[in-house]
Amino acid sequence: MGQRTTVHAACPHDCPDTCAIRVTVEDGVAVRIQGDPDHPPTHGALCTKVARYTERTYHPERLLHPLRRAGPKGSGRFTRVSWDEALEEIATRLRAIAARDPQAILPYSYAGTMGLVQGESIAARFFHRLGASLLDRTICASAGGTALNATYGSRVGMHVEHYRESRVILIWGSNSIASNLHFWTFAQEAKRAGAKLICIDPRRTETADKCHQHIALLPGTDGALALGMINELVRNDWLDHDYIRRHTDGWPELSAQAALWPAERAAAVCGLTAEEVRGLARDYATVEPSAIRLNYGMQRARGGGSAVRLIAALPCLIGAWRRRGGGLLLSSSGFAPIRRNALERPDLLPAPTPRTVNMSAIGEALLREAAPGFGPKIEALVVYNSNPVAVAPQSPQVVRGFAREDLFTVVLEQFQTDTADHADFILPATTQLEHFDVHASYGHTYVLVNEPAIAPLGEARPNTAIFRALAARLGFTEDCFADTDEQIGAQAFDATVDFARLRRTGWWRLPLADAPFADGGFPTPNGRAQFAPAALGVADFVAPYESVQSAPELALRYPLAMISPPARHFLNSTFVNVRSLRSIEGEPLLEMHPDDAARRGLSDGAMVRTYNDRGEYRCRLQVTDRARPGVVVALGVWWRKFGVAGTNANELTHQRLTDIGRAPTFYDCLVEVAASAPDQLAIEA
C-alpha cells in the first residue's frame, strides 16, 4: 500500500457552482475526485463532467511538450521543440513587434479556468508591462453584469442556499439541471416543501420538464415579458409601496414605461398568451417569499441588458428582498473581496493607455488593417484559457483571421483545440490538479483554495510560470514578476479573508447578511436600487436584431430563430474531447419542432444544412417538441473538428453587440434549414 493523501481543490470551470473538491492521491497519482461533503453548496456532489476530471487530466492527448508549427496555418501539424527554443523565439518575435507598436500584440483569454492565479495575474502584469492592447472580456456575462451594476450597484444577489426557503421560484433563462446543478438541488428542496417552480425558456429543457410550469417565450423577448408583469403588478396593486419608496429610485419612470405594456401587448411580442403573462405575475407576486434564478440565457440577444435591468426591478417592486428566501440571483461575483489591482497591476500600463479590443468581435478585429480609431493591425495573438476558434461568434471571420499567415499566434493549452490548430507555438499548460489557485464564485458566496494534487504532467507548466519566463526574457525586472503562485493567492483577497485559514479549511463563507437587501442598502452610491439611472434612463424592450417580428424581410429568407445554449456534458467547448462525455452527447444535433420539420419535409435523423448569409452548418436533425415552433436549437459548443464539415453552430452567429455591456448576441440569429445532399453524409465514426 503506497502513500495516500487528500488535498483541498476547487472546480476551475466557468460554472456558477464552483464546487469544493477533495482529491485523493496515491503514489503521486490522482485516483479519486469527490465533492466536499462539508461545503454547503457542493454537499458532496460533483457533476458528471468533473467527476471524470482524472480522465481529462490523464487523457492520452494531453499536450505535454512545446510545439512549433510544421504546416500551413490551421493544418494542425506541429513538431516538438524544447521550452528554451519556444520561449526564445516567442520572446524575439514579440520584442520585434513591440518595438514598432506593442498594441499590435493582443492577449485573448477567458474563463477556461476561473482561478484568480492562473487567470489574470502574472499574465495581466505581463501584457500591461508590455503595453499590449487591452482585451474587453465580454463574451459571457457583460450584458447582464452591466445591467446588475446599473440597477443594484454591483453583481450581487441571493445566497444560493436560501432558495430552499422560497415558495415560488422563476427559473428564468437557465437550464439549471445542466448548468447550475447545485442551485437545482435547493430548488428541488423548495419544491418538496410546496414551492411552485416556473421555467421561462424557449426550449423545453430537462429543467422545464421538472418545473410545474414552462413558459416558452420567443428568444430575446424577456424584456417585454418583464414589462407585461410590471403592468400587472400595478394593475392589481401587488406592489410593496414602502420598499419602493424607501429603497428605489426611478419608479415613476418605470411605471410610466410599464403602463404601455398591458399583458396582451407583451404576450404578442413574446409569442405567449395574455393569460400566461397575467398568471406569471400573479404567481410571482402573491406568494412569499418569491425568488428569481436568472441566468445568462436571455442576455445573449440584442436587448439582453435591458431585459436584465427590467427583471432585476421585479424583486424590488414586490419587496421580495425582505426575506432571505426572496430576491434574485444572476451573479454573486460582486460580493467577493477580490483585489484586482494587486493581481493585475494596471499601474504597469504605459501612458497613454493602450487601445481596447472586444473579444466578442475578434473575427472582425483580426481582419482589420491599421486605421485611425482602430490603431495598428493585430500582428500577434497570445491565447490562454480560451478556445476562440470554436466559441467566438461568426466563425467564418474568426477562422479567416486565425488563418492569416502574417499573424503570430501563441496558444497556451491543455489540448490541441481548434484554436491550438491555428497556433505558431503551442505551450502545454497544467490542469487544476497540477497547479495552485484560489477561487471566488459567481453562483455562491464562498471563497476556495485549490492545492496542487499531483506534479505537472510531461513538461506542462502553469500559465503563471509561462508568463514569468516570458517576462524574464523580455527583461521585465519588477518585483511582481517574481511572486510565486502562493504569494499571488495571498494577494488575491482583501483582509476579510484569512488566507492561512483558507488553506487549512479549503473554503470559507464570506461574512454577508443572510437577506442582504432586506432593508435596502444596495451597493449603489445612495443605497437605493436604480430603475432609471442618469447614464441609461429607464429600460424599455429592445427587440432582437434578427427575429420574425423585428426583421420581417430577413425572416422571409431565414424564418427560424436559432439558439445554441450549453450542452449538459460539456462546459462550453471543454470536455468535448473526453470520450465518455462525448458519447453521452452523441453528435452535434439541431432540434426542430415537428410542425417546422413537416413544413420542410424533413424527418428525424436526417442530415440537414442550416444556413444564413454568414455561412452554412451541417449536422443531424432531431425532430422534437423540446424546440418550440419557429425556434431551432443547436446545443454546443462542439469543437469544429468534430463536426461533419469541420464547423459548429458559430458558423451562423454574428458579431453585433448587446444594447449595454458590449456583449455577443449568440441567440439572436435567424436561419433556414434544408435537407443536406447525401454525398455530404460522410461522418467520422
Ligand X SMILES: Nc1nc2c(c(=O)[nH]1)N[C@H]1C(S)=C(S)[C@@H](COP(=O)(O)OP(=O)(O)OC[C@H]3O[C@@H](n4cnc5c(=O)[nH]c(N)nc54)[C@H](O)[C@@H]3O)O[C@H]1N2
Q: How far is CA 563 from the centre of its chain?
A: 15
How many of the chain's residues bind ligand SF4 (CB under 6 A)?
A: 12
Tell me: does residue 49 bind ligand SF4 (CB under 6 A).
Answer: yes
Query: What span, in angstroms and rounded, lies between the C-alpha atoms of 579 and 574?
Result: 12
Tell me: does residue 438 bind ligand SF4 (CB under 6 A).
Answer: no
Among 35, 41, 74, 173, binds ligand X (CB under 6 A): 173
Tell me: does residue 140 bind Mo ion (CB under 5 A).
Answer: yes
Please identify, using beta-carbon distances, which residue of 24 and 624 lies nearer to ligand SF4.
Answer: 24
Which cell numbers in the block locate residue 486? 502562493
Please identify, using beta-carbon distances, which residue of 550 and 573 lies nearer to ligand X.
Answer: 573
Among 42, 146, 179, 409, binds ligand X (CB under 6 A): 179
Tell me: does residue 295 bind ligand SF4 (CB under 6 A).
Answer: no
Please identify, using beta-carbon distances, which residue of 532 and 581 lies nearer to ligand X.
Answer: 581
Cβ 395 to ligand X shortest distance, Å: 9
Residue listed under C-alpha cell 410542425: 595
Q: How far is CA 64 from CA 59, 560, 577, 592, 648, in A?
A: 11, 44, 16, 41, 27
Tell me: does residue 18 bind ligand SF4 (CB under 6 A).
Answer: yes
Cβ 33 to ligand SF4 shortest distance, Å: 9
Tell me: does residue 399 bind Mo ion (CB under 5 A).
Answer: no
Among 15, 266, 383, 632, binds ligand SF4 (CB under 6 A): 15
Among 117, 181, 218, 258, binds ligand SF4 (CB under 6 A): 181
Among 570, 611, 617, 638, binds ligand X (CB under 6 A): 570
How many of the chain's residues bind ligand X (CB under 6 A)?
A: 58
Q: Are 162 and 514 in contact (CB under 8 A)?
A: yes
Which cell numbers in the block locate residue 506? 479549503
Query: What span, in angstroms and rounded, lies between the C-alpha atoms of 207 and 178?
Result: 8
Cβ 441 to ligand SF4 shortest distance, Å: 8
Which cell numbers in the block locate residue 263? 399583458
486-514: string of b/e by CB count within 10 Å (b at 16+)?
eebbbbbbeeebebeebbebbbbebeeee
Cβ 645 to ligand X shortest distance, Å: 17
Burial class for 583, CB neighbours closer than 10 Å (0-12, 13-18, 19+): exposed
Tell me: does residue 247 bind ligand SF4 (CB under 6 A).
Answer: no
H helix intervals, 326-462: 340-344, 362-366, 388-391, 395-402
What, of ligand SF4, ligand X, Mo ion, none, does residue 11 touch, CB below 5 to 8 Å by kind? ligand SF4
Cβ 503 to ligand SF4 shortest distance, Å: 20
Q: How far is CA 128 from the centre of its chain?
A: 24
Sign of CA dihedral 122, 413, 430, 32: positive
Query: What span, in angstroms and rounded, lies between the C-alpha atoms of 391 and 394?
Result: 9
Q: Are 681 and 558 in contact (CB under 8 A)?
A: no
* Stretch in the footprint of ligand X (CB under 6 A) among 147-155, 243-251, 408-416, 598-606: 408-416
Please identify, using beta-carbon distances, which residue of 300 and 468 lies nearer to Mo ion.
Answer: 300
Within 10 angstroms of residue 451's Cβ, the number of other Cβ atoms is 17
* Stretch in the footprint of ligand SF4 (CB under 6 A) among 16-24, 161-169, 273-281, 671-679: 16-24
Partners of 293 in beta bridges: 171, 329
Tell me: does residue 665 bind ligand X (CB under 6 A).
Answer: no
324 DSSP assignment: T
CA dihedral 490, 491, 494, 495 (to 10 degrees): 50
Tell me: does residue 663 bind Mo ion (CB under 5 A).
Answer: no
Which cell numbers in the block locate residue 577? 474531447
Query: What span, in angstroms and rounded, lies between the C-alpha atoms of 312 and 157?
Result: 10
Query: What span, in angstroms and rounded, lies between the C-alpha atoms of 577 and 584?
Result: 12
Tell me: does residue 576 bind ligand SF4 (CB under 6 A).
Answer: no
Cβ 16 to ligand X shortest distance, Å: 6
The β-bridge relationship of strands 589-592 and 615-623 is: parallel
What, of ligand X, Mo ion, ligand SF4, none, does residue 50 touch, CB below 5 to 8 Å by kind? ligand SF4
Please identify, using beta-carbon distances, which residue of 398 and 471 lies nearer to Mo ion.
Answer: 398
**662 CB contacts (<8 Å, ≥6 apart)?**
136, 138, 142, 358, 360
Tell me: does residue 568 bind ligand X (CB under 6 A).
Answer: yes
Please identify, using beta-carbon distances, which residue of 18 and 387 lies nearer to ligand SF4.
Answer: 18
Please identify, using beta-carbon distances, which residue of 67 and 391 lies nearer to ligand X.
Answer: 391
Among 54, 650, 655, 676, binds ligand X (CB under 6 A): 650
Tell me: does residue 648 bind ligand SF4 (CB under 6 A).
Answer: no
Tell me: does residue 280 bind ligand SF4 (CB under 6 A).
Answer: no
Residues 107-136 that bind ligand X (CB under 6 A): 110-113, 118
- Which residues lie near ligand SF4 (CB under 6 A)? 11, 13, 15, 17-19, 46-47, 49-50, 181, 571
- Which residues lie near ligand X (CB under 6 A)? 14-15, 110-113, 118, 139-140, 172-175, 178-179, 200-203, 205, 219-220, 222, 295-298, 301, 384-387, 391, 412-415, 417, 429, 463, 563-568, 570-574, 636-637, 649-650, 653, 666-667
